[in-house]
A = this chain, B = another copy of it.
Amino acid sequence: MLTPERHRKIIEVLGEKSVVTIQELVEATASSESTIRRDLSQLQREKKLKRVHGGASLTHQKSEELSVFEKSERNALEKEKIAQYACDLVQTGDCIYLDAGTTTLRMIPHLKNKEITVVTNAISHLEALSEHEIKTYLIGGLVKSKTKALVGSSAIKSLSSYRFDKVFLGMNGIHIEAGFTTPDPEEAAVKNLAISLSQKAFILADHTKFHETSFSKVAELNEAIIITDDIDDDVIYDFQDKTEVRVVTS
């Protein structure tokens, strides 16, 4: 993993958790302890974070909250635009499903005062949802302690009792033949079900996800509408036979 990529990853993890251990980062980046230490030292010099014994924490400037994280996250601006666009699709009274993930997290502030009902499998979204006074249902399931998401057969069963006007999912890979894919089989199963329970399913994905394939298949391309940012016309051309692609322009 390349240095800038690692740095982004570190800041991203911090944005979600606000405190992180070196060990967790070693695992997340597949690099050694020494490397992570060097990274942390450098990021500290750049004032991106604060080192603490055992790991790192956000520099607590409460007013700015996630600014460092939001800026540092890969393709932050694009994701924000995609999130904004997605929220414009949500209408008063809708019942929607929000997947775990950073782009869907960005949707939450824009959902305030829409009088909607949100169903989610992301424990990490609860704080933001509660903050913005959004009526929230959590599906049941096994708590995956690393990602704080709910998975497993009980999650599937729990989810299957809902129906959604719209479903918004993040995705790791979008590929002409492989369709929509994501690294974790259990999470893939949850995503798949969410799609089939919705009237309309939307995949929120920036341009880096196209032509990529991950481990577990979630669905065929035609099962969901893709919302993405500016990409080459020929990429869109490739995909638009298979499904609707909506491009959020600047």
Contacts and interface: CB of A to CB of B under 8 A. Distances in A.
Contact of A157 (B3, B19, B55, B161): B161
Nearest to A118: B143
A35 interface: no
A202 B159 CA distance: 30
Contacts of A3: 52-54
B2 A54 contact: yes
A143 B137 contact: yes
A21 interface: yes
Contacts of A52: 2-4
Interface string A126-145: 10011001011111111101
14 contacts: A3-B52, A4-B50, A126-B143, A129-B143, A136-B143, A136-B145, A137-B142, A138-B138, A138-B141, A138-B150, A140-B140, A140-B141, A154-B162, A157-B161
A247 interface: no
A184 interface: no
A19 to B, nearest CB: 4
Interface of A: 2-5, 8, 18-19, 21, 50, 52-55, 57, 123, 126, 129-130, 133, 135-143, 145, 148, 150, 152, 154, 157-159, 161-162
A141 B52 CA distance: 37
Nearest to A50: B4
Q: Which of A4, A18, A159, A162 has the most CB of B within 10 A?
A: A4
A125 to B, nearest CB: 10
Contacts of A2: 19, 21, 52-55, 57
A143 B130 contact: yes
B154 A143 contact: no
A130 B157 contact: no
A143 B122 CA distance: 12
Q: Which of A137, A142, A152 has the most CB of B within 10 A?
A: A137
Nearest to A158: B140
Contact of A143 (B5, B138, B145): B138
A19 B129 CA distance: 18
Contacts of A126: 123, 143, 148
Contacts of A136: 142-143, 145
